[in-house]
């Protein structure tokens, strides 16, 4: 056994020769590995404690303000800049006021990526459930509105399941086949609601939209639900949406279309939502093509003022330099900023969505064993 030890043991000398240097290097690696293992073990214990807490039926899931600030939430880009955003929206108006023509117009513009009334449009696949029409009527309507300019990105159906009978499964299947979908229009809400429960209470209305909103939020698309208004007038036009306030209360926003006179081609489109300012648009429908055009807007489209930090990043992360990885301290130095690294990180966490939407730069911020690591990647060239 002693002989084996002599054979397998490394031969070392008193001086600082190569063998001695190798031993020192090995000790350093072992020390680093021990630190990493300790850190990973602490993370493991923390996760186990969290799982144990979550197993309690009375556990309330919370997030601290520090954790909130430390998290990067990637915002979703608008469908129509300044007009329509991902989320669940109601589009209400009186019968035969021209809602379906505006829905067809909306679907066509998004599926082709062409501007609508001067608003930039993000192109994507559109699913249009025209549940009160038939294909012949739709063919005539689309031809009259858009002529021979067709698109393969607009998919139409005149039938769908009720919400309680698998509608969300149908929509999920469509999204799996068309992952670039960004807009689904359901015309009308009543057609998917069914007649099982005629108790239109606040809680039922709220639950109806909440179920659809859960699907929308998971899919990160815009879901437009066409609905009717009541005959009774109201100072707040959104109070005219048929049903209880539970519909609007759970939705992300609403559009209300109302003609100035029943026989007139002029109408007012009022918009309210969580992700945009309230707007009031005056629109007119063309007698020949039946297309709605914008006459005027009472509310000037508000835009966030330029953020100097984002402009600096856009000048730094370019086609010639499409990716940068480093610490917040290194980023402060390379950008020549007079700002603390933790303040820079916070500002970037908050503005990550805007950085991507306006400049096409994806920002990632992760903790590593050696510290915080920032990654900036140019994913799309800004228009």
Q: Are residues 220 and 278 in the same domain?
A: yes
Q: Is residue 370 in a domain?
A: yes
Q: What angle do CA 179, 105, 296 make, to 5 degrees?
A: 125
Tokens coding 271: 């918009």
Q: Are residues 113 and 98 in the same domain?
A: yes
Q: Is residue 147 in a domain?
A: yes
pLDDT at 298 (0 to 100): 87
The residue out of 271, 297, 323 marking a domain boundary is 297
Question: pLDDT tens for residues 218-230?
Answer: 888 999 999 988 7
The torsion angle over the Cα atoms of residues 90, 93, 95 and 99, rounded to 10 degrees, is -70
pLDDT at 28 (0 to 100): 42
pTM: 0.77
With tokens 């309507």, the residue in question is 141
CA 274 remoteness from chain centre: 13
Q: Is residue 222 in a domain?
A: yes
Report d(CA 52, CA 235) in Å as an integer: 53
Q: Are residues 244 and 324 in the same domain?
A: no
- Give the range of the structural domain holding residue 348, as residue numbers without chain letter: 304-378
Question: pLDDT tens for residues 230-288?
Answer: 777 766 667 777 777 778 788 899 999 998 777 789 999 999 988 778 899 999 999 89
Q: Are residues 105 and 247 in the same domain?
A: yes
Q: Is residue 1 in a domain?
A: no
Q: Are residues 158 and 212 in the same domain?
A: yes
| pLDDT band at residue 4 under the 50/70/90 scheme | very low
Is pLDDT of 26 > 70? Answer: no
Q: Are residues 51 and 197 in the same domain?
A: no
Question: pLDDT tens for residues 147-181?
Answer: 999 999 999 999 999 999 999 999 999 999 999 99
Cβ atoms within 10 Å of 161's Cβ, excluding its own: 14
How do 253-259 and 266-273 pair as beta strands?
Answer: antiparallel
Q: Are residues 255 and 373 in the same domain?
A: no
With pLDDT > 90 as the criterion, what percentage of the chain qualifies?
Answer: 53
Q: Is residue 68 in a domain?
A: no
Q: Are residues 260 and 191 in the same domain?
A: yes
List, in sequence order, the alpha helices (H) in 147-201: 167-177, 189-193
Q: Are residues 23 and 100 in the same domain?
A: no
Is pLDDT of 105 > 60? Answer: yes
Report d(CA 172, CA 168) in Å as an integer: 6
Question: pLDDT tens for residues 275-333?
Answer: 778 899 999 999 899 999 999 998 766 677 889 999 999 999 999 999 999 999 999 99
Q: Are residues 178 and 319 in the same domain?
A: no
Report d(CA 332, CA 256) in Å as an integer: 47
Kindly report the CATH number assigned to the domain that includes residue 354: 3.30.56
Q: Is residue 366 in a domain?
A: yes
Q: Are residues 55 and 116 in the same domain?
A: no
Residue 186 near residue 209, CB atoms below 8 Å: no
Enumerate residues 6+ apart whose C-beta is below 8 A from 48: none
| pLDDT band at residue 14 under the 50/70/90 scheme | very low
Kindly report the CATH number assigned to the domain that includes residue 154: 3.40.50.300
Q: In the chain, how many domains are there?
A: 3
Q: Is residue 276 in a domain?
A: yes
List residues bridging with 371 in a β-sheet: 368
Q: Are residues 268 and 309 in the same domain?
A: no
Is pLDDT of 115 > 90? Answer: yes
pLDDT at 136 (0 to 100): 96
Enumerate residues 6+ apart whose C-beta is below 8 A from 236: none
| pLDDT band at residue 6 under the 50/70/90 scheme | very low
Angle at which helix 308-316 crosses helix 328-335, to 10 degrees, equals 90
Q: Is residue 265 in a domain?
A: yes
| pLDDT band at residue 27 under the 50/70/90 scheme | very low
């Amino acid at each position: 056994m002693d002989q084996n030890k002599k054979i397998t043991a490394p031969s070392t000398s008193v001086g600082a020769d190569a063998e001695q240097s190798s031993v020192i290097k090995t000790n350093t690696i072992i020390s680093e590995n021990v630190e990493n293992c300790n850190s990973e073990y602490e993370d493991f214990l923390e996760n186990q404690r969290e799982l144990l807490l979550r197993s309690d039926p009375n556990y309330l899931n919370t997030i601290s303000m520090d954790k909130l600030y430390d998290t990067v939430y990637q915002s979703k880009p608008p469908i129509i800049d300044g007009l329509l955003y991902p989320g669940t929206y109601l589009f209400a108006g009186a019968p035969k006021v021209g809602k379906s023509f505006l829905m067809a117009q909306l679907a066509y513009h998004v599926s082709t990526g062409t501007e609508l009334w001067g608003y930039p449009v993000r192109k994507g696949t559109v699913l249009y459930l025209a549940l009160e029409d038939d294909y012949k009527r739709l063919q005539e309507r689309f031809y009259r509105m858009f002529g021979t300019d067709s698109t393969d990105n607009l998919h139409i159906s005149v039938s769908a399941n009720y919400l309680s009978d698998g509608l969300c499964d149908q929509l999920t299947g469509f999204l799996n086949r068309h992952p670039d979908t960004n807009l689904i229009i359901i015309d009308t809400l009543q057609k998917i609601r069914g007649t099982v429960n005629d108790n239109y209470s606040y809680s039922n209305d709220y639950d109806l939209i909440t179920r659809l909103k859960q699907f929308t939020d998971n899919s990160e698309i815009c879901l437009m639900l066409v609905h009717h208004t009541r005959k009774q007038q109201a100072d707040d036009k959104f109070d005219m949406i048929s049903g209880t306030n539970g519909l609007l209360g759970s939705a992300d926003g609403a559009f209300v279309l109302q003609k100035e006179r029943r026989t007139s081609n002029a109408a007012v489109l009022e918009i309210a939502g969580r992700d945009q300012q309230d707007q009031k648009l005056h629109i007119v429908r063309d007698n020949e093509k039946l297309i709605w055009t914008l006459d005027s807007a009472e509310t000037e489209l508000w835009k966030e003022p330029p953020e100097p930090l984002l402009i600096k990043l856009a000048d730094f992360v370019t086609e010639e330099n499409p990716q940068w990885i480093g610490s917040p301290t290194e980023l402060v130095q390379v950008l020549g900023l007079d700002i603390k690294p933790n303040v820079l990180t916070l500002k970037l966490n908050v503005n990550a969505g805007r950085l991507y939407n306006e400049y096409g730069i994806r920002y990632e911020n992760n903790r590593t064993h050696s510290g915080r690591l920032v990654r900036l990647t140019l994913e799309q060239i800004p228009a």
